Amino acid sequence: MMTFDVLTLFPGMFSSPLQESILGRASQQQLLQVRLHNLRDWAEGKHQTTDDTPYGGGDGMVMKPEPIARAIAELKARAPRSKVLLMTPQGIPFSHQKACNLAQEEGLIFLCGRYEGFDERVRQALVDEEYSIGDYVLTGGELPAMVMIDAISRFIPGVLGCSDSVEADSFSDGLLEYPQYTRPAVFEGMAVPEVLLSGDHGKIARWRREQQLLRTCQKRPDLLETAELDNEDKKILEQLQSKALESDK
Ligand code: 4HQ
């Protein structure tokens, strides 16, 4: 069973997102466990302080290294092979591929920061890998940790039903997904594409692949650089591109 240890000043933030739906079921089935730890439990003094003012002056507070060191030592003693991860805008961009690789680990310890972040020596001495979930600034590392736990958990065998398998997703072959439709056949004057009602499975599969390529080409052309494309895909793309040039004239 995969173990996620989370070290945070706000363990309450994690309860419902991880207890609902797919992740909730996976925990109940003991495919994974999320252990929440309040960093304050390792702090000292009457006020159990976890932060302090920055050396050199300036705004905001910095998280002190000692409580974090004590906490990580204890979590590592219990799970010696767990990797310690830190969420920060300076980290490696988190991706589908990183999620897949991290799912191979036995355990992960997520260190969630608040305020202006951590004393630099935490990074140097205690952290194995740093990840960013995107180029924007959040108020803490809790949401990034939840995003990562969610994306990683989908790669743990048994977490997804076979109906929503990992292979069928966007990004597994590096392309965006094809459009989906369900009843009614006509909604507010918009009809479902004829081919999907044809019952011709070969034709439907080709249409879907073409839609994936078309969407990726229009919305995320950067993904085509690294996508897994066969000769048929390349032919379809050439046709799409010549059609696009045609309509530009
Ligand atoms: N943080 N991806 C935690 C982020 C962030 C991101 C800002 C991390 C605040 C305390 N983390 N500090 N983007 O915005 O991972």
* Cα Rg, the chain, nearest whole Å: 23
CA 114 – ligand 1 centroid, Å: 9
Q: pLDDT value at position 175?
A: 96
Active site residue 116: yes
Q: pLDDT value at position 161?
A: 83
DSSP per position, 47-116:
TTB-EEPPTT--SS-EE-HHHHHHHHHHHHHHSTTPEEEEEEEEEEEP-HHHHHHHTTSSEEEEE---TT
Per-residue pLDDT of the chain (249 residues; tens, 9 = 90+): 999 999 999 999 999 999 999 999 999 999 999 999 999 999 999 999 999 999 999 999 999 999 999 999 999 999 999 999 999 999 999 999 999 999 999 999 999 999 889 999 999 999 999 999 999 999 999 999 999 999 999 999 999 987 667 776 778 889 999 999 999 999 999 999 999 999 999 999 999 999 999 999 999 999 999 999 999 999 999 999 898 888 877
Q: pLDDT value at position 150?
A: 98
Active site residue 169: yes
Angle separating helix axes 201-219 and 231-248, nearest 10 degrees: 60
The answer to whether the CB of 155 falls within 8 A of the CB of 166 is: yes
- Of 17, 35, 40, 89, the active-site residue reads 89
Active site residue 89: yes
Is any ligand 1 atom within 6 A of the Cβ of residue 185?
A: no
CA 139 – ligand 1 centroid, Å: 7
- Of 20, 44, 116, 238, the active-site residue reads 116
Whats the size of the chain, residue-wise?
249
